[in-house]
Structure 1
Amino acid sequence: MAEKLFNPKQIIFGIVGIAVAVFFFIVEPPEGLSIEGMKCLGIFLMAIVWWMGDVFPDFITAFWLLTFLVVFKVVPLEMSFAAYSGGVVWIVIPALAIGVALSKSGLLRRIVLKILSKFKGTFNGQVKAFLLAGNIIGPLIPSATAKVAIAAPLARTYSDTMGFEPKSKGAAGLFSAMWMSFGVAGPFFLTGTTMCFTMIGLLPKESQGVWTWLHWLAAVWPWGVVLLIGSYFAIRFFYSPKHEVELPEGYIVNQYKELGQMKRNEKVAAVVLIACLTLWISESIHGISAAMVALLGMCVLLGAKVLDRQAFRSNIAWDTVVFIAANTGIAGVFKEVGITKWFSASYGVYAEPLFSNIVILIVVSVIIISILRFIFVSQTALMTVYVVATTPFALAAGIDPFIPGIIALVTVNVWNVFYHNVTFITTYAASGEMIEYKQLQKMSFVYMGLCVIGLLCCIPVWKMLGML
């Protein structure tokens, strides 16, 4: 029997989305909003409903959104698809390509094993090792999926070798240490996840240029430090085994030695990696944008055949590239058709109590976004909706729109239920089901709490940077 194209839920949400768009097309625009703005709102709300119902994969819905904006003459094609010629997409593609090269060449595994080998083979030692290793390699590759694909099997192997039974406290502890660093700590660094570039692309044009690698780190480091330290103590509290166990002496060192001498592709990838990181960090000195640095690095890797044509075609998440580019163009469209100005003027007074107190804004936003994750299947879609909706209010309150952006970026990573986080599902599978989901569910709420604390700790830094 042929598989149905749409299930009942998708059909219902698909029809509701179309109905919403039609309603906005036929209703008279409110004062201050143009006909084009009204159509744009209708099409955007249709996309939101489709994202909520998972009517199509998120990147396909994004394509529908951009296409309808042109078909119904809301904005010209050049405006609707402007993000595809912008800086965000041209750092995402090479950054993903560099990540593929690091993984494919074996360099990433070598780095991880080298770090792990520097710690004791005890439970406590390897919890520290995984937490630090994930944060050290965090800026090297912008794909959490690629990072956990390497780290999760290692966590399973070490757990088994220590004698932990699958789904035991010890196994769950090692999994948690790996996940909290390799899986969700990406926003610590600009190059830690493609979601960082997506968020920047959602900000107003005038706010995007300042976010260099170092400027990002300066604004976010308190959150990253709180997550690192808080995760360690939470894991020790929830998952420490009753009796201390240890890996056989020299076990990890021998794993590293089995890799042998660095191969030619690893050496080339290492040189490119060091060069890219150096140029990203020193962008304020030489003025070469992060996108151009990443493109140069990708060109070297392709030219040296560290990354071949087949890998470039099949190993880069092109659907992610499409989705990021589509979403980052929405903010510009909203400004062009007057939605941003109208939204701020019409509803700013209602948002003022929330945006007048940064502490309340952080706490309430984390709670609201976590609740909305039960509705939005796509993390990126929810972040897009939240950032676009809150930017006018942030600007009116004198708050840098980066702040609601970073709140959304870190909070959408929760995994309060199993389906919330696609990367968590991938990690769970890659670990050979070494844990039960319910064992890690509590860590999602720990993560939410650490996000609130970490973001609150960022407030003094944001004031120093003139963001508040």
Structure 2
Amino acid sequence: MGKTKVQKFGFLIGVVAMLIIGYGPAIEGLTQVGQRVLACTVLMVVFWITEAMPIPFTALLPIFLFPMLGITGSGGQNGITLFAHYAYSTCYLLVGVGFLSGSMVKHGLHKRIALGIVSKVGKKPATLVLGFILAVAFVSMWMSNTTATVMMLPVALAIASALGDEAAGLKKAMVLAIPYAATIGGLGTIIGTTTTPTGLSLIKETIGVEIDFLQWMQIGLPFMIILIPFFWIYMVKFFKVDKMPDIDISIARRQYEELGPMNKGEKYTAIIFMICVVLWCTRSILWGDWFPFATDETIAMFGAIMVMICPIDFKKGEYVCDWKTGFNDIPWNAVILLGGSMVMGNAFRDSGVAEWIAAMLGGMAGMNSVLIVILVGIVTAIITELTTNAVVAAAFIPVLAGVGEAVGVSPFAMMLSCLVACNFAFMLPPGTPPNAIVYGTGEISLKDMMKCGLGLKIISLIIFPIVLYFIVMGVFGIGTV
């Protein structure tokens, strides 16, 4: 497939902007190295937003550009690290979870969970929509939101195809409920979406604040639990689903029954996965002091090792997961994007660019800190419609560290606001992969997605400051220091 006009224009603009910034007149307050880091950053952000090059490939550009522009090389010159960040620790959280996710898909455990929920919600159209939302959101907490969308979409389309034209509103509600629920469900845990580990890694590197699995659940779960009922009520009312007669959901029940009893692979996968979840949730409060060097990545790799060595049939050499399945399910695009984000974010800080930007925004000092944090979330929620949410997190979180210090607002609170609001992409297909997948089916028009998504975005932005201020910061005290 050839490049679009936007991609061609983005490539040209990115390259020209890099050359002008990198080799133009000296910028006051920046060293030559800082000026060239800024040039590379602008190039990468433009490429990411316009997808002038594939997003993961753009994340690899520093390997070529940094040495060519005299920024740094393999030896970490100018105090800037390059190659080490492509093997950042969080990358191995994604690798380990890939093996666990691959095992769930291989044995059909994820499908059993989702179909089990949908098949038990009853015949009322409104509760059917709720069933899809709950099923997708729950599955999306533990695996890629993209995988959760791909898994449940055929079920929704199968039920929709059995309905007449009079149920058009229900079809749209069911299909659109899937990407929206996958996105919000992904907020619940660190492993639910690639955006969260990317953002948390940048936060740890730039300001030294580390958030573990349990702490993130204290941030993400309140948003997920509170948003889901509002989303359900809104979609039921928006598509007038509550006024429709009862329907036949025998397709979902039949598919669930066809799965039969749980096989060994499902049982072993479920046990190993639950052990990992318990370890993730208890590390910081129970056993972490006994194993001080263990991290969330350690637990993920423990899970990966267990599914690789746990036999289903020892004589036949069959194990819960095989190398090919696990390797193929690792989100390599996200691993590379995370590495490139870390390179850019650290270079941004270490070259003085973040400090320079912060100085320019010092005029915001004196504004109400809560208002500033909320404004960051609103701006992020708007921008995230134009490009995938992981890219927004990668591009903007490093900048907020210096901005927060300059205006006297907690940098972590601003970064947290940006990271959460990145997930409020509901209006356009480019905002998040689940949106693009569902739009690509042809079952949903762009007009439907924009109109329904706008309402959900407004609901999110109304609830966002309340949950952030009163629950995340108020109850749990996260982001207050």
Q: Do they superpose with TM above 0.5?
A: yes
- How far 1:300 sits from its partner (Å)? 1.9
1:53-68 correspondence to structure 2 within 5 Å: 53-68=50-65
Counterpart for residue 278 of structure 1 = 278
1:285-296 correspondence to structure 2 within 5 Å: 285-287=286-288, 288-296=294-302
Counterpart for residue 445 of structure 1 = 454
Distance 1:93 1:25, change over 3 A: same
**How far apart are the structure 1 equivalents of 2:69 and 2:32?**
11
Is the Cα contact below 8 Å between 2:140 and 2:186 reproduced in 1? yes
**How far apart are the structure 2 equivalents of 1:417 and 1:251?**
30
SS in 1 for 2:141: helix
**How far apart are the structure 1 equivalents of 2:478 and 2:323?**
45
**How far apart are the structure 1 equivalents of 2:336 and 2:22?**
27
**How far apart are the structure 1 equivalents of 2:393 and 2:160?**
35
**How far apart are the structure 1 equivalents of 2:158 and 2:384?**
32
SS in 1 for 2:146: helix
- How far 1:342 sits from its partner (Å)? 2.8
- 1:157 aligned onto 2:164: no
- 1:424 pairs, out of 430, 435, 454, with 435
**How far apart are the structure 2 equivalents of 1:102 and 1:95?**
11
1:293-323 per-position Cα deviation (integer Å, ceiling 9, x unaligned): 0011112223343332332443433222111
**How far apart are the structure 2 equivalents of 1:170 and 1:58?**
35
- Counterpart amino acid of 2:87? S
1:254-274 per-position Cα deviation (integer Å, ceiling 9, x unaligned): 432211122222122112210
Distance 1:137 1:423, change over 3 A: closer
State the aligned residue count.
456
- Counterpart amino acid of 2:324? Q
1:234-270 per-position Cα deviation (integer Å, ceiling 9, x unaligned): 012112344322326x664443221112222212211
SS in 1 for 2:89: coil
1:329-344 correspondence to structure 2 within 5 Å: 329-344=343-358
1:154-207 per-position Cα deviation (integer Å, ceiling 9, x unaligned): 12223344x243981111122233332124431132221111101111214275
SS in 2 for 1:88: helix
- 1:309 pairs, out of 323, 328, 349, with 323
**How far apart are the structure 1 equivalents of 2:82 and 2:281?**
32
Counterpart for residue 300 of structure 1 = 306
Is the Cα contact below 8 Å between 2:341 and 2:395 reproduced in 1? no
- TM-score, normalization by structure 1: 0.88
Distance 1:256 1:52, change over 3 A: closer
Counterpart for residue 397 of structure 2 = 387
Counterpart for residue 173 of structure 2 = 173
Is the Cα contact below 8 Å between 2:206 and 2:346 reproduced in 1? no
Counterpart for residue 136 of structure 2 = 134
Counterpart for residue 404 of structure 1 = 415
SS in 2 for 1:401: helix
1:38-81 per-position Cα deviation (integer Å, ceiling 9, x unaligned): 11111111212222332211111111134312332313335112
SS in 2 for 1:296: helix
Distance 1:207 1:107, change over 3 A: farther
- 2:45 pairs, out of 45, 48, 62, with 48
Counterpart for residue 320 of structure 1 = 334
SS in 2 for 1:326: helix
- How far 1:413 sits from its partner (Å)? 4.6
Is the Cα contact below 8 Å between 1:37 and 1:338 reproduced in 2? yes
- How far 1:12 sits from its partner (Å)? 3.7
Is the Cα contact below 8 Å between 1:94 and 1:298 reproduced in 2? yes
- 2:364 pairs, out of 351, 358, 361, with 351
Distance 1:400 1:49, change over 3 A: closer
SS in 1 for 2:245: coil
Is the Cα contact below 8 Å between 1:44 and 1:65 reproduced in 2? no
- 1:467 aligned onto 2:476: no
Is the Cα contact below 8 Å between 2:167 and 2:244 reproduced in 1? no
**How far apart are the structure 2 equivalents of 1:206 and 1:54?**
26
- TM-score, normalization by structure 2: 0.86
Structure 1 unaligned segments of length 5 or more: list them. Answer: none
Counterpart for residue 112 of structure 1 = 114
Distance 1:439 1:109, change over 3 A: same
- Counterpart amino acid of 1:448? K
Is the Cα contact below 8 Å between 1:122 and 1:244 reproduced in 2? yes
SS in 1 for 2:361: helix
Distance 1:266 1:76, change over 3 A: same
**How far apart are the structure 2 equivalents of 1:264 and 1:253?**
22
**How far apart are the structure 2 equivalents of 1:244 and 1:11?**
50
**How far apart are the structure 2 equivalents of 1:132 and 1:12?**
41
SS in 1 for 2:187: helix
- Counterpart amino acid of 1:156? L
Structure 2 unaligned segments of length 5 or more: list them. Answer: 289-293, 311-318
1:419-451 per-position Cα deviation (integer Å, ceiling 9, x unaligned): 44332121344xx54433322322211221232
- Counterpart amino acid of 1:381? V
1:18-97 correspondence to structure 2 within 5 Å: 18-77=15-74, 79-97=81-99
**How far apart are the structure 1 equivalents of 2:176 and 2:96?**
30
- How far 1:338 sits from its partner (Å)? 2.0
